[in-house]
Structure 1
Amino acid sequence: MSKPAPNKPRSIEAKFMSAALHKGAATLTKQKMRTTFLAFAAHAKQRRYGQVDPATVTEKQLRNYVGSRIDADISARTIQNEMSHLRRAIRGAGRGEWADALTNAELGVPSGTRIGTGKVVDASVLAHALERAAPDTRTWIQLERCLGLRREEMIESHKSLTQWEAALAGGQSFITIRHGTKGGRVRDTHIPEPYRPRALDAVRAALAIVAERRYLVDAPTNHAAKQQVQGRFAALGLERENSGHSLRRAFCRDNFEHYLSERCSRKEALALCSRDLGHGEGRGRWVWNNYLRSTYESEN
């Protein structure tokens, strides 16, 4: 009788990923964490740390990793995010107090800003894109612009179009977004009354497309769908500062100004915008910095 093969030791990145997922994570977060842990594993191998894991990693090893990322010209924000991923894994291994006590400054992490530079889509660029776009591409653009959908949410919106049409046609003030959301979190997005007709038009245009084919974006896989949308948007000039995310910024600005017109305070308006975008009501300042600030500052 042959002896059973010995268990192959898990890789460093697998150990960190397993510990980091003790509370679950959204798909995009998992992808970003995996990138971090692969980079840390490569560093550990190069420095000959051996089978380091979240339960044994030391402050010196983390500091050396930060130094290597700085030497590689990795941005401050990326290094900050990577340390957040590594801390998450260390907490998952039961070393939460140690991880929380170890500050970025002590590890040599460079300071960075959380203020984004993205602006609302340029109106003339958007108008030109809509004029030149194929019917299905025009609908994708309008769904992101008029409903504030993320790319993944737009791609999977065929699952909700009927419900959205009924809600908007019936005078409901919000739509419920269930599919393609970050972390699988369902949200209600407010569509102010002045903007409901254009939102309803976008939904009905999308329904006309899926009446002729199975998916709104006709592609064999989700990844292929994203590539197709990105390629078509870029060909129409919706790239760089006018990329798809700038369409969500335009939606955000409309809602923000509507809330202000309804006599909400600036803080209340931003909290409501944060909710509409799927970030939760506690991130109003972050929404201002990353969705609106650059646009308003450039207009002054």
Structure 2
Amino acid sequence: MSKKTELQADLQRINYLLGRSHKTQESRSGTFRTFARVMRETNFGIHCAAQIGGKHLQAFVERRLASGIASRTIDKEMGHLRAVLRHIGKQGLADNPAYSNRALGIAQGSRKGTKEPLSDAEIRAFQERAERLGRPDMGAILEMQRALGLRELEAIRAGRSDTLLRLHRELTERGCASVMEGTKGGRMRQVHPAVDGC
């Protein structure tokens, strides 16, 4: 294995050991690729997670901030790196106030969303365009997302006929339905129609 990929391989090995949902592992994997790349670009010759020190964390954050990466993203990436540090027994570094987000210059980001829901006219225009393209299912998926508050993957997976029949039956009988496929972490959740909750 080349020295160029040793750090990334070690971080990916730890990623596997840390477990969690597929999406979390995928997100951590991206962070570890970026961290290994930044360490190469800044000429830090570290080859394994055990060699990560405060100066490496500092250099990583400085590079990410200089690249214009959002503070919420850097906050998440630092959470991934701290999980690695705790896993390998470097709790002192992970919890050191000198390397906290505030000390590293990561602004506290807002979790308040900025997205606005589509208007009726925008949804209708999208559905008409999808029909012209021979993809009326795309318009139906968008309508399901809106009507039940489904995430994109949930709506796509709910498009099967047996699932649609089950959702219809549950909504008719109880006024709410269970979504099982495409959910975050594979956890079942209850969804309610935009009008008339249960």
Same fold, TM exceeding 0.5? yes
Structure 2 contact 148–193 (Cα < 8 Å) conserved: yes
Query: How far is 1:110 from its partner?
Result: 3.4
Name structure 2 gaps, 5 residues minimum.
Answer: none
Query: How far is 1:156 from its partner?
Result: 1.4
Query: How far is 1:52 from its partner?
Result: 3.1
Structure 1 contact 173–191 (Cα < 8 Å) conserved: yes
Query: How far is 1:97 from its partner?
Result: 5.0
Q: Secondary structure at the match of 1:176?
A: strand
**Amino acid paired to 1:33:** R
Q: What TM-score do you get using the length of structure 1 for normalisation?
A: 0.55
**Amino acid paired to 2:106:** V
Query: How far is 1:100 from its partner?
Result: 2.9
Structure 2 contact 71–107 (Cα < 8 Å) conserved: yes
Q: Which among 32, 41, 50 is matched to residue 37 of structure 1?
A: 32
Aligned residues with identical type, % of pairs: 29
Aligned residues: 188
Structure 1 contact 140–154 (Cα < 8 Å) conserved: yes
Tell me how far apart the structure 2 counterparts of residues 188 and 23 of structure 1 sit (CA, whole Å): 29
Number of the residue aligned with 1:136: 137
Q: Which among 187, 190, 196 is matched to residue 188 of structure 1?
A: 190
Number of the residue aligned with 2:52: 57
> Compared with structure 1, are the counterparts of its residues 160 and 13 closer, same or farther at alpha carbon in structure 2 (3 Å cutoff)?
farther
Indicate yes or no: 2:164 matched with 1:161.
yes
Give deviations 1:228-257, integer Å, cap 9, x for gaps: xxxxxxxxxxxxxxxxxxxxxxxxxxxxxx
Query: How far is 1:41 from its partner?
Result: 0.4
**Amino acid paired to 1:31:** E
Computed over aligned residues only, the root mean square deviation of the Cα atoms, in angstroms, reads 2.6
Query: How far is 1:98 from its partner?
Result: 3.6
Give deviations 1:209-240, integer Å, cap 9, x for gaps: xxxxxxxxxxxxxxxxxxxxxxxxxxxxxxxx
Query: How far is 1:37 from its partner?
Result: 0.7
Q: Which among 77, 81, 93 is matched to residue 76 of structure 2?
A: 81
After TM superposition, the structure 1 stretch with the greater mean CA deviation from structure 2, 151-160 or 37-46, is: 151-160
Indicate yes or no: 2:73 matched with 1:71.
no
Indicate yes or no: 2:105 matched with 1:108.
yes
1 or 2 for the larger relative contact order (CA 8 Å, sep ≥6)? Answer: 1
